[in-house]
Amino acid sequence: MGAVVMYGSVSVDGFIADEDDRTGPLFGWLTGGDVPLDDSGVLKVSQVSYDHTRPYWGGIVVTVAGHRVFDLTDGWGGKPPGGIDHPVVVTHRPETKVWDPKAPFHFVVGIKAAVAGAQELAGDRTVEVAAGDVGGQAAVAPVLLLRLCSPAGRPRE
């Protein structure tokens, strides 16, 4: 079975959203460059960010995210970012929007069931758990492979 990891951009004050509940400048690096990070046409980063991020993203096949993130992104318009094959959405309410049957979303109640389902979908490849509330639930569960990385993305001893 593949690794279950959490990766995220965080702010020192703990707030990512701006006053309109949109991601603020913390995520500006994802759209402020000229090198496409995926096929969406939305994510464009600097070459340095691409060289650092793309190899990591290339190994992820399933992402576990919360329903709030899913709602804020409107389900990424039906196409998950970064080339993710299967987004697993942790929820405690039924999905009300009717999605295209080809959209690869899986709605699951509870973090343990979500990660178990994600691992089944991923096989021996990597499952990424989004940071934030769902990431906190995963850390407490515990269902993560904990690995600290330096700012350069290299594992620390």
Amino acid at 86: H
- For 4-37, what is each residue's pLDDT tens digit? 888 766 666 656 667 777 766 777 788 889 999 8
Residue with tokens 């600290």: 148
Domains and CATH numbers, the chain: 4-17+60-140 (3.40.430.10)
Q: Is 27 helix (H, G, I), strand (E, B) or coil?
A: helix
9 CB neighbour count, 10 Å cutoff: 11
pTM above 0.85, yes or no: no
- For 86-138, what is each residue's pLDDT tens digit? 899 998 877 667 777 777 889 999 999 999 999 999 999 889 998 778 888 88
